[in-house]
Amino acid sequence: MSDSLAKKQEKVKPILEDVIALNENLNDEAKQNLLALLEYCNAKNISYKWSSTNRWNLKAKGDSIGYIGIGNRAVSDNSWSVLMNQRRFIQHEDFLAKKGLTEMVHNSLFYCEGCNGNSGCVACTALRFENPDTNVINGIQKIIDFILSLPRGTGNRPILDPATDGLSRIDNKKRVSGVTDLEGNANGNMDSLFNGKCNSYFYAGPYDYMSRGDNHDIVFQLDEPAELKMYGLVTGLRHNVPSGWVLYGATSKDGTWTLLDSQTEFPKPVMLYTEKAFNIDIPKVYQYYKITLDGSSFVLSQIHLYTKE
C-alpha cells in the first residue's frame, strides 16, 4: 500500500464526488454510473463518508450497509466497485429470485485468496460488484431497498422475541454470576453475554485468543435457583451466529449436567440485535447452567433467561 496515499487521505478525508471529478483513470461511463448510484444514495439519505484508503462507507440510520471503492487500496486504477456483506440478504433467496437477482448475487461472491471462503473471515462474506453497469446498479439499489426495509434492533434497543411476553426476564447484571469455561477460567468475553448490554458481545473466531476451536463451553450460575421456562440468544453487530448449541442445567457446579435444550441451527432470517427465544420443554429448578456454543466464527451479544411472571 502507498503510505503517502493512505496518510494523505486520512488527513483530508476526501469527498467522494471530488475524487471522481479528479480521477483520470475512470472513463466517462464509469463516472456516470458511479454518480447515478450516489444520486440514489442521496435520495435515500444514505451517507458515503471516507472510511479508509480509497474506500467510502455507505451508512443508513447509523448502519453500515456496504462500501464504495475507487481503484484498489494502493493506487487509483481504472476500476470502481461496491462491496456488501452477503450474509445480510443471501438468506432471503425468495427475494433474490423474485427480483431476478440470484445470478447477479452469486456471480459477485468474493473470496479472499488466503482461505477461499473456508475460515469465516469478513472478506469471505462479501459481495464485490466490479465496475457495475446500469443493470447491476439497478440490482444493487433493489438490494439496498430490501436491506432498509428489514427490521433491525440496535445495541441500545434490541428487538425482543414476542414469544417471551408474559414471562419474567432474569436481570442478567444482578442475578447471574460465576461465568467461566469448564476449567473455571473467567474472561470479559464470556461476561459480555450476561452484562445486560447488547452493544458489547461474545466473539468466537480466529482472532480471539480466549475462544479456540469450534465448541465454546460457558458455565454460569444464578444467585438463586430458578426454573427457566425459556431462554433467548440475542444477535449482535454481525450476521455470523452459532451454528448450533446445547443448554444444560445442574443443581451444583460439580454435579451431573442435565440436557435442557438442543438446537442445530439459528432460525432464519438472522437480523442484527434481535432475540430468538427457545422453550425448555421439561423445566426444573437449577442454579447452575452450561451452554455449549458451536461454530468457528460468530458474534452473540446476550443470553436472556426467562421464568414465570
18-51 tens-digit pLDDT: 999 999 899 999 999 999 999 999 999 999 999 9
> Distance (Å, rounded) from C-alpha 214 to C-alpha 243?
10
pLDDT at position 142: 96
CA distances from 299 to 169, 178, 212, 234, 296 (A): 22, 21, 14, 9, 10
pLDDT at position 39: 97
| The three cell numbers locating residue 111 | 473470496
Residue pair 65/83 in contact (Cβ under 8 Å)? The answer is: no
pLDDT at position 204: 87
> Distance (Å, rounded) from C-alpha 294 to C-alpha 277?
17
- Among 170, 179, 230, which residue's Cα sits nearest to residue 202? 179
pLDDT at position 97: 94
Q: If DSSP codes are grouped into helix, strand and coil, which group holds residue 93?
A: helix
pLDDT at position 122: 45
pLDDT above 90 covers what percent of the chain?
63
Please name every residue paired with 81 in a beta bridge, in sequence order, or none if there are none.
69, 130
> Distance (Å, rounded) from C-alpha 97 to C-alpha 172?
42
Q: Which backbone phi and psi does 39 adopt, to 5 degrees?
A: -65, -40
Pick left, alpha or beta for residue 224 (phi over 0 → left; psi -120 to 50 → alpha; otherwise beta): beta
Residue pair 14/50 in contact (Cβ under 8 Å)? The answer is: yes
pLDDT at position 114: 52
Strands 202-204 and 230-234: unpaired
pLDDT tens by residue, 233-281:
999 988 889 999 999 999 988 879 999 999 999 998 999 999 999 999 9
Higher pLDDT, 179 or 116: 179
pLDDT tens by residue, 120-167:
454 455 889 999 999 999 999 999 999 999 888 999 999 999 999 999
- pTM for this entry: 0.78
- Burial of residue 165 (CB within 10 Å: 0-12, 13-18, 19+) is exposed
Least confident segment among 159-163, 209-213, 300-304: 209-213
Residue pair 263/231 in contact (Cβ under 8 Å)? The answer is: no
Domain annotation for the chain: domains and CATH numbers: 3-149 (3.90.1150.200), 162-308 (2.60.120.260)
Question: Who contacts 261 (Cβ-Cβ below 8 Å, separation ≥6)?
Answer: 231, 246, 247, 278, 279, 280, 281
Q: pLDDT grade, residue 209 (50/70/90)?
A: very low
> Distance (Å, rounded) from C-alpha 156 to C-alpha 273?
9
